[in-house]
Structures are given as structure tokens and as C-alpha cells.
Amino acid sequence: MSITFPNLTKASIAMAVATTLLIPASSFASAAQPSSKATSQNQVEPRGEAHQFHATINNRTRDKLIPVTTDKSKTDLIWGKWMQEPTAIPEKTEQKAFASQGRQGSPSGTEGWVTYYLEKHPHVSFKIYFDTPASIFKTNKCEPQDVHRDLSITTQKCPQKGDEQHAEFKVLYDD
């Protein structure tokens, strides 16, 4: 037995599928995630600010690490907002370098990059790329990129899952 619907168009089928996928939050009450909250209309409201990236840099060089904050190609947020703007890291110091989060009331995560260079050697630089997506189907990413050949950077923490990502990077300079 087959059923035909002669008056259906591709657009109406797409609308029916999209509408069907909107499931009330009450259906998932036992599996509620801390990154969302139920509204009075029984819909799930995403909390973008729950998706966070925190970077700590362990600067083992004999030089201050300076963030490039004036050039969007060097430091930028594709998604989210800064919780802590990128800061300089003194030599032989480990400290929190920057932090970002998704936007409030938005289903966004946070994604971007920050470029640092050595104060006494401005041509020696590296970039930290990060992505803490809002989607549970994607994994978190954080990695050093465009690393100058005289630098050695190790990622000591970079959790693949979770709303809050705390990453640590150790920077060595072979001068």
C-alpha cells in the first residue's frame, strides 16, 4: 500500500520536517543540560555564555610575550565575546592569557585565534586557534598554529568535550 500526497511541494515537505524536529523541552526534562534552560513556553533556550575557552600560557622564554590586538588577521573572535582580553605574559611566568565565551541568549559557542610575539624578537610569533562549539556533535579544538621555527609549543591540556575548555600552552624559545 502506498500513500501519495499530490499537493505537497518540496518547500512544504521541508517545512513539515523542520517543524517536526522542534521538540518541547519537557520531553527531555531528565536529560537537561546545564548549558540550556527551559522557558515558560516549554522551549529550550540555549545559553551561549556557558560555552567558554580559557587559555593559560606558561612562558618559559627569556622574553615577554605580547598579544597582537590591533590586526584582525592576527587576533580575532569569529564567534563569541571576550571575557578577558588577551594580555601580555612576562618572561618565565605562567598565567591566564585570555578567555572568551559564546554570546548571552544565543546558541553560539566561541571560536577565534590570538597571535603572540616575543617583545625583543617581533618576527618570532605563534597563533593559538580555539573552537568551543555550541553543538554537541562537534569537538572542541585548541592548537598552536603558524609557530616560528625557533619556538616550541606544547599543548598540555585541551579537552575535546564539554562546555568549558581550559587549555594550557607551554612556550620555549631556542635562541
CA–CA separation, 38 and 137 (whole Å): 21
Residue 147, all three cell numbers: 609557530
Residue 142 has a pLDDT of 86
The domain limits of the chain are 10-46, 48-173
Q: E strands within 63-159?
A: 65-67, 76-79, 81-84, 93-101, 110-118, 121-132, 141-145, 151-157
pTM of the predicted protein model: 0.69
pLDDT of amino acid 130: 92
> What pLDDT shows up at residue 94?
96
Tell me yes or no: is domain 48-173 CATH 1.10.357.10.
no
Q: Which of 52, 21, 19 is nearest to 34 (CA)?
A: 52
Q: Which cell numbers hold the place of 54?
A: 580559557
pLDDT score of 136: 72
Report pLDDT for 124. 96
Write out the chain's pLDDT in tens, 175 residues.
555 555 555 555 544 444 444 434 333 333 334 444 444 454 444 465 677 889 999 999 999 999 998 777 788 888 899 999 999 999 999 999 999 988 777 767 889 999 999 999 999 999 999 988 777 777 788 899 999 999 999 988 776 666 777 888 999 988 7
